[in-house]
Structure 1
Amino acid sequence: MSRNDLCLELLRPFEVTNAGCRISLPLGAQRLLAFLALQNDGAHRAAVAERLWPDCTPFRAAANLRSALCQGRRLGCVTAIESVGPRLLLSPAIQVDLHRVRASARQVMEQGQPLPTDWADLVNDLSRELLPGWAEEWLMWERDSWDQMRVYALEDLAQQFQATQQYLPALQAALAAMTVDPIRETAHRIVIEVHLAEGNVASALKRYRDYRAFLRRELNVRPSQQMTQLVRDLTPT
């Protein structure tokens, strides 16, 4: 088994694969691998046990951690979890989809970088939730962090494509950002601007009115003046 064979997927239902073949793991080992994949510098054993089994006594949580380590430390002939003193770390031998997509997102948000040619795959990756279906409390902050990063990356991507008059990828990226955070105005505004640039006035007005109605229903507020200005001369608001 080579270092590049092992993959850990967090942006879909949890899965570990070796050269495309799924490796079945108990839930405790899954949770441990996922938790460590989200820690850049690993984590202390006691902290891992406390975070993953918060409702257990320290003794029981430590026992659960030992069991999960036994089940997930080695995958085939590769050490998946490394120990450095009291700290546990995910081995660099494991490729993690979240790490790859985060790196692509950071590249999108860096100034002067070329636009990705595989934009459809990137938009699809950035549209994925972190560990969907998992209800662990320790995931809440991680999900919030991922959602913030991906919505900014999608909006940046949409704006860059819009600036180069590549309207289909601009729309796809903006629409994906809207699914992540439907209240946030930026992506809605980009969609309106793209419709107007293409001469699709009716589509622009519909997007504005739909968003205005959504805000009124959910928060009893109106779109910003910046957004309203986009359609001000098209029809009375």
Structure 2
Amino acid sequence: MSQGACLEILRPFQVTCGGRRVAISTGAQRLLAFVALHREGAHRRLTAEQLWPDCTSCRAAANLRSALCQGRKIGSAPAIDSADRNLSLAPSVSVDFHGAWDGACRLVSGDGAGPDGDRLAADLSQTLLPGWDDEWLLLERERWDQLRLYALEALAQRFQSEGRHLSALQTSLAAISIDPFRETPHRIAVEVHLAEGNVACAVKRYKDYRRLLQMELKVAPSPRLTRLVRDLTRT
């Protein structure tokens, strides 16, 4: 693959080379995505077994060879490096997911989101490989969801401290869409509404969350969240 190639897996799968979209087979798409999610590299046999679990080992290995061949036809250089039966993405290939993952890790660790918090928030709001139902992707998607959930919460709190109420609210809602039962983003949303003086919105957010917990889990919001609206409503 030539210099400047880009692999997108946070949105509908896409490969661009020299600024132009490249059409590749389904097998090659799965292979590129799988290897991109295993930045430390993946053994050829494990890769074949994961991507073609319903095939015999011989058939899976043949499918892998075919996908590798098709992947090498994307540009002037291979998209995947193969050494000692280990597969890894070529250094010339950039992946949107890698930047989002690294930014989320820095944010969660307290190093900050960098100068472009809005771009990171947009990336964190994206599902990994939407529309794909591959079994091997389930764990990778769960790992991403957990990381981006924590990162979205941290980013929402940062926006709130900066007085960027709309960005804070939108980011907390993005976190809620990942896990509607998790209290932290609901609390941030309530705090944002209160900071803006939107008491009714804060109370509604609290009551909607309380109703969800009661209906689905038969539990109540934490005292910390309840205290935020205790003087505004009768619980």
Across the two proteins, how many residue pairs are aligned to each other? Answer: 235
**What is the TM-score of this pair, normalised by structure 2?**
0.95
Partner of 1:6: 5
Partner of 2:71: 72
Contact 1:82/1:88 (8 A) holds in 2 = yes
Partner of 1:145: 143
**What is the TM-score of this pair, normalised by structure 1?**
0.94
Partner of 1:49: 48
Counterpart Cα distance in 2 of 1:20 and 1:184: 40
Counterpart Cα distance in 2 of 1:105 and 1:41: 18
AA of the residue aligned to 1:145: R
Q: CA deviation at 1:137?
A: 0.4
**Residue ranges of structure 2 left out of the alignment (5+ in a row):** none
Give CA deviations for 1:151-182 in whole Å, capped at 9, x if unaligned: 11110011122223322221121111111111
1:212 and 2:183 are equivalent in the alignment: no
Partner of 1:156: 154
Taking every aligned residue pair, what percent have the same amino acid on both sides? Answer: 57
Q: CA deviation at 1:220?
A: 2.1
Counterpart Cα distance in 2 of 1:179 and 1:198: 22
- Higher deviation after alignment, 154-163 or 140-149: 154-163
AA of the residue aligned to 2:188: I
Counterpart Cα distance in 1 of 2:132 and 2:110: 35
- SS of structure 1 residue aligned to 2:163: coil
What is the 5 A alignment of 1:29-48? 29-48=28-47
Output the aligned Cα RMSD: 1.5
Counterpart Cα distance in 1 of 2:110 and 2:24: 41
Counterpart Cα distance in 2 of 1:50 and 1:194: 48
- SS of structure 1 residue aligned to 2:131: coil
**Residue ranges of structure 1 left out of the alignment (5+ in a row):** none
Partner of 2:196: 198
Partner of 1:232: 230
Distance change in 2, residues 1:58/1:183 (3 Å): same
Distance change in 2, residues 1:116/1:89 (3 Å): closer
Contact 1:73/1:82 (8 A) holds in 2 = no
What is the 5 A alignment of 1:85-234? 85-111=84-110, 113=112, 116-234=114-232
